[in-house]
Chains A and B, each alone.
Chain A
Amino acid sequence: MSYFLRKIGFYAVALWAALTLNFAIPRMLPGNPVDILLAKLQQRGGQITPETRKAYALLLGGDDSQPLWRQYLDYLGNLFQGDLGVSVSYYPAPVSEVIGQSLPWTVVLVGLATVIAAVLGVALGAFVGWKPGTWLDSLIPATTLLAAVPYFWLALLLTYLLARVLGWFPLQGGYDVVLTPGWNPEFIASAIQYGFLPALTIVLASIGGWLLGMRNMMVSTLSEDYILTAEAKGLSPRKILRSYASRNAVLPSVAGFAISLGFVVSGSVITEQVFSYPGIGGRLLGAVSNNDYALMQGLFLFITLAVLGANLVVDLLYGLIDPRTRARS
């Protein structure tokens, strides 16, 4: 039991440290939101007079007068009430609304793509590792090549081929804007159609890592004595593959999978940029360039929680699936 308590205590401290950094880092950025907003308006052809500056400073509430420790306490207090503040760049929308609108898109797209990539990669890796030295080994360089190509380049190439030349998939966006968003079949079909290409690029770019890791673990597991024993007992190769080799070889991949699940929430900024996909990555980019502290804090909070949460779950799960990690405690 103390194993689990220690783990949870560690994560509580990590969470506090993350929240504090989350508070501090945006405040170290140069510039302030009013200046950025004005500079942006100016580029959009707005006339910025001294009165404009005054009005927007009033509107966005320049409460810099409060001492930093006071802001910190308010921040922690509001956080526990679930109040993330008001976004400056999307004023007057609350941060939770801005995030709530984008988060599902990212979680579904990147989440599904990550699951598909991991499952496919691990399954293929196990199979390739089972038969080392055959033509299947050529899958390794092929997929690692895809992973090594800069992601945006791969995405652009696929977009060019599949969307522009062949016209199989839409070029940009998350859904057909003519349809009404909601749980109706047309909309869901269009969301799948629009999401397919971005998901494909993520799967192609990340499958290589899973495959390589799993295959190498398989090869080293297959040389273990207990595999030899199992073979000597006369078990069927299929049974050895599933119950003896794969189950032991998959452990590092499970840990890796949890960590990558944590990063699902932070989205794939580049994917969303290339495909103009609605999601959290684009919001993050916008928040940083607009000095939108509240939105940045909100987004970082979600990302932190997701990464910590995923790690915690895996740590706990690991205690269950791999008794060796518990044994020492």
Chain B
Amino acid sequence: MSLDFRKRGAAALLAGAAALGLLATGCSSGGSAGGDTTTLVAYTGQAGDYQINFNPFSPSRIGALGTIYEPLFFHNKAEVSDPVPLLGTESSWSEDGTVLSVTLREGVKWSDGEAFTADDVVFTFDMIKNNPAINTGGFDGTVAAVDDTHVTLTFAEPSFVRGPDLLNTPIVPEHLWKDVNPAEDVMEQPVGTGAWLLEDFKPQAFTYKANPDYWGGEPAVKQIRFLALSGNQAGADAVAAGTIDWQTGPIPDIQNTNKNFPNYDAYTQAQNQMVLATCSSAEMGCEGPQTDPAVRQALYYAMDRSQINSLAFMDTASDMSPTFALTPSQDSFVSASVAEKTVPMEPDTAEAAELLEAAGWTMGDDGVYAKDGERLSLTIEVVTGWTDYITAVDTITSQAAAAGIEIKSAQSSWNEWTDKKGKGNFQLAIDSLWQGPIADPYYLYGYFFESTSGAKVGEAAGNNYSRYSNPVVDEAMAALVQLPLDDPAARQPYFDAIQAEIVRDMPYIPILTGGTTSVWNTAKFTGWPSDDDLYAFPAVWSAMDAAEIFKQLEPKG
């Protein structure tokens, strides 16, 4: 999706205000939220005030992850690259993938002065294992300290693919956490090893200050303040007024950000693959024409993606591979035998007609295909207020009509839409698929294509709400678990097998890759990620990536 943060209802409603905002660039608005020149003011896109919660394991945390509580390694999901050592310096898997050995950094201190040791790491993993409510990665291994700077994590089965998630686990101090309930304590005074310390908390803002004793040296950004605003519109207004330095979310006329606001620049990273998800499997109880793969293929060819991009996404969306390997960062994973490396940008109604006719559909008198008395009519579910998706659906509707497919759209609230997807009460839904912890398509395949996260219609499905179930894919995924991530030659045959299946079956019909856009103040700080140096995924709400970016920034002047 081009606008990652879904407050588009308000954005549409208040678009007029933004236009006013654009006119007012030259005028200042008093407001000391900006602070001095070394304070970075960020807005994460959260709507409404903050409720204190600096517990890195809590889903409702407002901060501390990455900035205060550091993981062992930082993994860049924006590019294929080596992990950046943080509390760990080296990690390696045993030959069979059951033992992960990690060497820890020496001389690191918690911000209360205590030394960081292997015991803290052991404690953290044990705590996660013993508290199912925070065990979001399903950690079931055994962790042991070899000596003060070496730990091992042992698993019953090969677990190469879990490495990035494990090494991303924030490490917490044993001496402070041994007596707290890790699921419910909000950690009002977080003590970590990270580059920042919590300075103060207020419901409207919280502030970090630089940790002078940070093991990597005191960071150049001395203060980071996170503001509470009411949503994306307020964020765009704050950019116009110059009161925030970084927000991830849409602003009007994004292509000309630098022209409209000379102090700011916008950067878009293509990260979310937009799809028409289908309730694909008739065996699992899905009903409707979309259970026929030929219909999904025909829709794929019927789309005019250049038109969709310009009408719905202000030309911010980019290419996509039908294999769902992210373009361009994961191009190396695309199978050589896949004919179309990227989705066709122009419609091919002849191809769509051929596919449909081969599958037994015949053109009816009303210009819509039919088979056994059933008209080729489909409904796309879309969330009210997600204006770019609504426009995309309208565009697809007219394009599909040209190919003899009737599309209707149904708008519902986000809650209802989520519910329909989960229970399988839909034909098509416009949505986007998300990526794993590193640049590797294994994770996306596991989330969305493996049958284990599907469910019968009527039961709540996991991520695989298309209910796609294919033994070939499942087998290949099982085989990939056995292989180390850094052995592309051994893994590629399995990726080839998966891609051949999903390109043919197409349970998610690819549209385009949507971008995540950040707007940041280039007059005040340098060192932001760029195309040449994409050292982290640029999104302020992605805590680990934001922490890495904060460390790289330098105040100007």
Contacts and interface: CB of A to CB of B under 8 A. Distances in A.
Interface in B436-468: 436-437, 443, 446-447, 452-453, 460, 462-463
B229 interface: yes
A273 B230 contact: yes
Nearest to B244: A172
A178 B199 CA distance: 11
A29 to B, nearest CB: 6
A30 B415 contact: yes
Contact of B415 (A36, A44, A48, A165): A36
B204 A98 contact: no
Given A39-B418, A91-B60, A291-B415, A164 B134 contact: no
B132 A58 contact: yes
A323 interface: no
A2 interface: no
Residue among B45, B48, B52, B420 with max Cβ neighbours from chain A (10 Å): B48
B225 interface: yes
A107 B272 CA distance: 42
Interface in A186-229: none
Interface string A257-275: 0000000000000001111
A101 B49 contact: yes
A163 B437 CA distance: 43
Contacts, number: 202
B176 interface: no
Interface stretch (B30-38, B292-300, B393-401): B30-38
A52 interface: yes
Contacts of B539: 45
B542 A45 contact: yes
B373 interface: no
A170 B243 CA distance: 10
Contacts of B115: none
B434 A173 contact: no
Interface stretch (B11-19, B87-95, B325-333): B11-19
A325 interface: no
Contact of B186 (A53, A92, A285): A92
A164 B231 contact: no
A173 B33 contact: yes
Interface string A29-50: 1111001110101111101111
Interface stretch (A117-125, A236-244, A276-284, A298-306): A276-284
A178 B33 CA distance: 7
A177 interface: yes
A10 B26 CA distance: 59
A181 interface: yes
A102 B28 contact: no
Given A50-B462, A51-B137, A156 B419 contact: no
Contacts of A93: 51-53, 186
B21 interface: yes
Interface stretch (B2-10, B102-110, B351-359): B2-10
A52 B207 CA distance: 29
A177 to B, nearest CB: 4
Contact of A152 (B13, B133, B415, B435): B13
A177 B419 contact: no
B31 A51 contact: no
B405 interface: no
A77 interface: no
A38 B49 CA distance: 20
B31 A171 contact: yes
Contacts of A286: 47-48
B498 interface: no
A278 B132 contact: no
A289 B20 contact: no
A49 B20 contact: no
A62 B418 CA distance: 17
A164 B230 contact: no
B413 interface: yes
B183 to A, nearest CB: 6
Contacts of A181: 202
A70 interface: no
Contact of A58 (B133, B230, B413, B453): B133
Interface residues of A, number: 68
B29 interface: yes
Nearest to A89: B60
A55 interface: yes
A172 B237 contact: yes
A160 B23 CA distance: 10
B541 interface: yes
A31 B35 CA distance: 42
A318 interface: no
A235 to B, nearest CB: 53
B326 to A, nearest CB: 14
A156 B20 contact: yes
Contacts of B52: 93
A186 B137 CA distance: 47
Given A58-B133, A181-B202, A274-B230, A282 B48 contact: yes
Given A45-B542, A91-B59, A39 B414 contact: yes
A159 B460 CA distance: 46
A101 B234 CA distance: 21
A54 interface: yes
A174 B59 contact: no
A268 B227 CA distance: 21
B416 interface: yes
Contacts of A152: 13-14
Contact of A90 (B60, B228, B243): B60
A30 B165 contact: no
Interface in A3-29: 29
Nearest to B227: A177
B497 interface: no
Given A45-B541, A55-B136, A163-B29, A36 B418 contact: yes
A32 B462 CA distance: 14
Given A47-B165, A177-B204, A55 B434 contact: no
B500 interface: no
B288 interface: no
B136 A56 contact: yes
A91 B58 contact: yes
Interface of A: 29-32, 35-37, 39, 41-45, 47-56, 58-59, 87, 89-93, 97-98, 101-102, 152-153, 156, 159-160, 163-165, 167, 170-178, 180-181, 272-278, 282-283, 285-286, 289, 291
14 contacts: A36-B415, A39-B414, A91-B59, A93-B51, A93-B186, A101-B203, A102-B203, A160-B20, A160-B24, A164-B240, A276-B230, A278-B49, A278-B203, A289-B414
Lowest 3 CB-CB distances: which A-B pairs, in order? A51-B138, A31-B415, A177-B205
Interface of B: 4-6, 10, 13-14, 16-17, 20-21, 24, 27-33, 35, 45, 47-49, 51-53, 58-60, 132-138, 165, 183-184, 186, 200, 202-205, 207, 225, 227-231, 234, 237-238, 240-241, 243, 412-416, 418-420, 422, 434-437, 443, 446-447, 452-453, 460, 462-463, 537, 539, 541-542, 545
